[in-house]
Amino acid sequence: MNAPAKYPSEPLKLWKKAKELREQYYLNYARAKENGGLRWSGSAWALDAIPAGLGDDVYSLTGEPYAASIAHDRKFAKSCMDAAESYGFARDLCSYMRIYWGGLHLNKYLFGGEFPKPDFIFQSQICCSHSKWYQHVAKVDKVPDFYLDVGVGPYKDLDASRVAYVANQLHDAIEWLEKVTGRKYDDEKMIAAVKNEMRSTSRWADICALNKAIPAPLDEKTMYSLYCLATLQKSAKWCADFYDELYDEVKDRVARGIAAVANERCRVISDTQPPWGFLKVFRYLETYGAVSVGSLYTFGLEGIWEDKPDGSWGGRTTPMEKGIEIRDRDTALRLYAEWNLSKPQWQHFYDPQLKTDMMLRIVKEWKCDGVMLHLNRGCEGLSLGIMENRLGLSKAGVPVMTFEGNMGDEREFDEVRTQARVDGFMEQLGLRKLAA
Amino acid sequence: MITAGIDMGSRTIKVVLLEDLKVEGAPQLNYAVRKAQIMFPGELDQDQAAERVYDDVLAAAGLKREDVAAVYATGAGRKQVKFAADAVTEMTAGARGAVFFFPSVRTVVDVGAEEGRGIKTDEAGKPTDFAGNEKCAAGAGSFAEAMSRALQLSLQDFGEASLKSDKTIPMNAQCTVFAESEVVSLIHASTPKEDIAKAVLDAVASRVCAMVRRVGIENDVALIGGMVHNAGFVASLKAAMGVDELKLPEMPEYVSAVGCALLAAETRH
């Protein structure tokens, strides 16, 4: 007999639209040349409002979400990694990078046809893989590449000179883009894109903050399909508009007490990218009535946050909301650099304690019972310091479970063993499986 | 009341029958192991092996299935025990069993054939944290077994040999395959078997210790699982953990099965 549902639940109305927007993004990139448009490639963390100044027909392919999409297709992912390894790249490198490189060398695009070659590379550097990834692409595709160094230290220590260091590189980037594309740069389009990105990333944080509600209106498995739109093109109007719509729907779910997991009785958060080919781990949690309400990763990779007057964490107030006029290039670039440097998911590169503090804050404000840390062998950047995070969380009295895996390389993930870990963790939290 | 616990390990199946004891003058219930049995399933499927060993232990105790109030299972193959009323993880069973034998224990080190793990427990035997080895056998009994084969020693001789060595040979082994090649290199370098055995067990102990440190070492510490029988490993682990004493149960491989049977009994009181 099925256990009676504790809360009402219903599908997300915007689910289909999110899927359509994502697919359209990848098709737009592939078809950019049909109407004389431009293509560029870089990280999901690239400051993508900058290339937007080249025109409305400029399309990006951000590497991490693209590789994550391939990771869902385990057969294709394996062939990509085999291709990268055949080329001579080591198996312990970033799995997103290996998957992207493999697709490049196989000349296959996940959404059909040959791999669409970018016209240029525009990339920010926060981890080692980010810099080497696109050096190789630029070399193979013989395309120009630009790298933006954003490693200026944690946001808490930010000062005007550090902002200027990044903003000045953005000025250089604009000159470089004009030179390599032969196009005249349009500051108005760039400023509009900067504003879109600020809207997108602040609003995504607002949406995540709504998940403080009990029951949680969203579960993390669903959130992956929603936050990913910002990893594709956070500076696009379609992205910012979608998050406004989504905010309204999630707010309505909270008001009506609609749960993502009808039997929610335990709340956890995860960490780093999940093993994309095995998202059913999150469904397995639900057999215990446990829901992952998010993570620093889903909240802070594309969400921009601030301390609210009541001490809680919420979406950062945009310069536009503060009444700041953005009329010229330099003002836009400085505000844009400063905005991005406050990204939560960049802070742990400087000190794991900063990440531990944010995780503890999430545990407290989102009323979580425990943390599941994915020791992600596929990402040296986001796994940096993760065992120190474990220690910090444990010292603070937060139950922690670790499991090894890889976001893109299924050879490093053991599904049965991970389920056994979940079983142990749930028992530690005093839970038994719900009646099927 | 009699309850049963079955620990479906990767190498062996352990089954324990536990009975309530009314201690004169003591109001609380206490328990004693009525019968315990171990089985190497060999060619048998796990579910068939579970049936057989359970029937065997009942016969040896002169009992029938209906005499047993409840059966709980644990271990890697716990889901194969179709006649079990419930199943719990090795962490829950191990912690409960260890605290039953040693009430002062707060850290449990469980090293069986497939996996090594560190468990932090409260005074009731409920795990509060745990860590285990992942896709690597280097912190488990099967690793020591593979290395003893490479040295052409029985597992018991392997452990005793290591106690004769006072050398420290660092092994950087991260997996059984690499370690075996290191052992072969040491054999070719005419290194005495005793020294190689100690090097291997030191390496296993080092990896197990690193896992236990993740959850924190709090006294008292108990070692459970089949590796308790390996005196060389016990010595290496004590040294690696820097503890004066490791609590060693007399029936180390049955501790988790006992924990299971206890949990089955406790849910019925």
Q: Do B214 and A427 lie within an 8 Å CB cutoff?
A: no
Q: B189 to each of A56, A168, B195, B260, how far by Cα in Å? A: 70, 61, 12, 47
| pLDDT given for residue B137 in this prediction | 61
Highest mean pLDDT (candidates A35-44, B143-152, B174-183): A35-44
Residues of A in contact with B76 (CB under 8 A): 420
* pLDDT-based confidence at residue B155 (cuts at 50, 70, 90): confident
Strand pairing partners for B4?
B17, B71
Mean pLDDT, all residues of chain B = 90
- A427 to chain B, minimum CA–CA distance in Å? 7
pLDDT tens digits for range B64-87: 999 999 999 999 899 999 999 999
- B224 to chain A, minimum CA–CA distance in Å? 18
- The answer to whether residue A68 sits within a structural domain is yes
The answer to whether residues B197 and B231 touch, using CB atoms and an 8 Å cutoff, is no
| Token code pair at residue A315 | 């979406």
Residues of A in contact with B126 (CB under 8 A): 428
- The answer to whether residue A320 sits within a structural domain is yes
Q: Does A355 touch chain B (CB under 8 A)?
A: no
| pLDDT given for residue B103 in this prediction | 95
Q: Measure CB to CB from residue B131 to each of A399, A402, A417 and give the nearest one.
A: A402
Interface A-B, measured as beta-carbon pairs within 8 A, has a size of: 41
- The answer to whether residue A436 sits within a structural domain is no
Q: Does A74 touch chain B (CB under 8 A)?
A: no
Q: Do B91 and A400 lie within an 8 Å CB cutoff?
A: no
Average pLDDT of span A47-66: 97
Q: Which residues contact B201 (CB under 8 A, 6 or more apart)?
A: B144, B158, B159, B162, B230, B232, B233, B235, B236
Residues of B in contact with A404 (CB under 8 A): 134-135
Tell me which of B10, B89, B133 to substitute to probe the interface with A (most A C-beta atoms closer than 10 Å): B89
- The answer to whether residue A324 sits within a structural domain is yes
Q: Measure CB to CB from residue B89 to each of A399, A403, A427 and give the nearest one.
A: A427
Closest CA to A102 of A124, A62, A71: A71
Residues of B in contact with A400 (CB under 8 A): 129
Closest CA to A151 of A384, A390, A366, A423: A384
Gap between the terminal Cα atoms of chain B: 10
Query: How remote is the C-alpha of A126 from its chain's centroid?
Result: 14
- The answer to whether residue A223 sits within a structural domain is yes
- The answer to whether residue A323 sits within a structural domain is yes
CA distance A60 to A58: 7
Q: Does B89 touch chain A (CB under 8 A)?
A: yes
- The answer to whether residue A61 sits within a structural domain is yes
Q: A206 to each of A132, A192, A211, A296, how far by Cα in Å? A: 34, 21, 9, 14
Q: Do A417 and B135 lie within an 8 Å CB cutoff?
A: yes
| Token code pair at residue A171 | 């000025």
Q: Does B90 touch chain A (CB under 8 A)?
A: yes
Number of domains within chain A: 1
Q: Do A427 and B91 lie within an 8 Å CB cutoff?
A: yes
Q: Residue A213 gets which letter from DSSP?
A: S
Average pLDDT of span B108-128: 92
Q: Do B127 and A424 lie within an 8 Å CB cutoff?
A: yes
Q: Do A394 and B89 lie within an 8 Å CB cutoff?
A: no
| pLDDT given for residue B27 in this prediction | 61
Strands B13-22 and B29-39, by their bridges, are: antiparallel
**Domains recognised in chain B with CATH numbers:** 2-102+252-266 (3.30.420.40), 131-241 (3.30.420.40)
pLDDT tens digits for range B186-221: 989 999 999 999 999 998 898 899 889 989 999 999
Average pLDDT of span A74-80: 94
Mean pLDDT, all residues of chain A = 96
* pLDDT-based confidence at residue A435 (cuts at 50, 70, 90): confident
Query: How remote is the C-alpha of A346 from its chain's centroid?
Result: 11
pLDDT tens digits for range A338-376: 999 999 999 999 999 999 999 999 999 999 999 999 999
Q: Is the pLDDT higher at B182 or at A240?
A: A240
Question: By residue range, what is the domain housing residue A232?
Answer: 15-428
Q: Does A343 touch chain B (CB under 8 A)?
A: no
Average pLDDT of span A166-180: 98
Q: Is the pLDDT higher at A362 or at B28?
A: A362
Reported ipTM: the value is 0.79
| pLDDT given for residue A1 in this prediction | 44
pLDDT tens digits for range A302-344: 999 999 999 999 999 999 999 999 999 999 999 999 999 999 9
Q: Does B88 touch chain A (CB under 8 A)?
A: yes
| pLDDT given for residue A417 in this prediction | 87
Q: Which residues contact A15 (CB under 8 A, 6 or more apart)?
A: A222, A225
- The answer to whether residue A164 sits within a structural domain is yes
Q: Measure CB to CB from residue A394 to each of B126, B129, B134 and give the nearest one.
A: B129
Q: Do B127 and A394 lie within an 8 Å CB cutoff?
A: no
Q: What percent of chain A has pLDDT over 90?
A: 93
Q: Do B130 and A417 lie within an 8 Å CB cutoff?
A: no
Nearest CA in chain A to B127: A428
Residues of B in contact with A423 (CB under 8 A): 89
Q: Do A420 and B215 lie within an 8 Å CB cutoff?
A: no
Gap between the terminal Cα atoms of chain A: 7
Q: Does A369 touch chain B (CB under 8 A)?
A: no
Residue A116 has pLDDT above 90, yes or no: yes
Closest CA to B89 of A289, A286, A420: A420
Least confident of A122-131, A139-148, A185-194, A247-256: A122-131
Interface of B with A in 127-156 (CB under 8 A): 127-132, 134-135
Average pLDDT of span B121-149: 83
- B25 to chain A, minimum CA–CA distance in Å? 33
